[in-house]
């Protein structure tokens, strides 16, 4: 056994190739396991990522029901930042909101099978892009809080999707014709003046290279809810997914709080 513990999303480091670490009872260097047979076994226990209590079912990404309806980490403004009220000193937990949402945020364009618009805290760049499996990304605006970033995202939803097609992402179906810098500057003529006040002059396009030996031809999602043990040769990692060489994929984030052993 390499390690055991409750699953949390893998830590990532940007480099020539993205590095992944799974933090259980010990840090597991996942890149070193690519090309090898691994076995993940679920004990049957799920612990809430917020309060730590055992829960029969995981809500959201690793919450018991009580925390799902009360914790700031599961508030609606996580998914819909335009609803954030942190800048007004309000929210499920105003102190938490001040520390996490009333902070500098960025609005970005990310490329994969299509151009996606998104929002994240500035301190989460480039982690957020990696977690979504983007092939490249560019910052289009910097704002003082989550609410203002959400306003810009809403203004751009008629032009771009705000969701990642995860199946196409995992098959590495990339639209090579996308030019993020060109997309960004085309917005200057389409956005209202109050939004252009936040526009960033940063033209750097961040390219993201994932450690993958083989991408699946047809994505077959597997879960501990149906298979208490998941075994196979690890073919790569993209986003927060483990890719096996028989086209099976496993979402790490979906299993947040599941107590597992890896060997």
Q: Mean pLDDT, the chain, as a whole number?
A: 95
CA separation for the pair 170, 172 (Å, rounded): 5
Q: Residue 25: what pLDDT? A: 86
Q: Where are the alpha helices (DSSP H) in the chain?
A: 65-68, 76-79, 94-100, 127-131, 146-156, 166-170, 180-186, 193-196
Whether the Cβ atoms of residue 149 and residue 81 lie closer than 8 Å to each other: yes
Q: Residue 194: what pLDDT? A: 83
Q: Residue 228: what pLDDT? A: 93
Q: Residue 188: what pLDDT? A: 82
Q: Residue 75: what pLDDT? A: 96
DSSP string spanning 54-122?
B-SS-BTTTB-HHHHTT-GGGSHHHH-GGG--GGGT-SSSHHHHHHHTSS-EEEEEEESSSEEEEEEEG
How many C-beta atoms lie closer than 10 Å to residue 16's C-beta?
A: 7
| pLDDT averaged per 10 residues, the chain (length 263) | 94 95 94 97 97 95 96 96 96 96 97 94 96 96 97 92 92 94 89 87 96 96 95 97 97 96 95
Q: Residue 1: what pLDDT? A: 84
Is the pTM value of this prediction over 0.75?
Answer: yes
Q: Residue 236: what pLDDT? A: 98
3-state secondary structure of 31: helix
Q: Residue 10: what pLDDT? A: 97
Residue 238 pairs in a beta bridge with 241
């Amino acid at each position: 056994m390499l390690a055991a513990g409750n699953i949390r999303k893998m830590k990532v480091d940007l480099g020539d190739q993205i590095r992944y670490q799974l933090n259980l009872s010990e840090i597991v260097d996942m890149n070193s396991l690519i090309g090898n047979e691994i076995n993940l076994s679920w004990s049957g226990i799920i612990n809430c990522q917020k309060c730590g209590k055992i829960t029969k079912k995981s809500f959201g990404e690793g919450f018991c029901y009580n925390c799902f309806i009360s914790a700031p980490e599961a508030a609606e403004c996580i998914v819909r930042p335009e609803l954030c009220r942190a800048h007004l000193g309000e929210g499920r937990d105003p102190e938490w909101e001040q520390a996490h949402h009333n902070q500098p945020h960025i609005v970005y364009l990310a490329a994969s099978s299509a151009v996606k618009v998104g929002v994240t805290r500035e301190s989460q760049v480039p982690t957020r892009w990696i977690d979504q499996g983007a092939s490249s990304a560019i910052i289009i605006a910097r704002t003082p809080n989550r609410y203002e970033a959400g306003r810009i995202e809403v203004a751009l939803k008629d032009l771009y999707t705000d969701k990642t097609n995860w199946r196409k992402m995992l098959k590495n179906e990339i639209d090579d014709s996308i030019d993020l810098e060109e997309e960004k500057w085309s917005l200057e003529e389409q956005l209202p003046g109050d939004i252009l006040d936040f526009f960033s002059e940063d033209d750097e396009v961040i390219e993201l290279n994932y450690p993958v030996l083989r991408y699946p031809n047809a994505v077959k999602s597997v879960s501990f809810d149906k298979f208490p043990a998941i075994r196979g040769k690890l073919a790569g990692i993209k986003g927060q997914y483990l890719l096996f060489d028989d086209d099976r994929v496993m979402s790490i984030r979906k299993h947040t709080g599941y107590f597992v052993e890896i060997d």
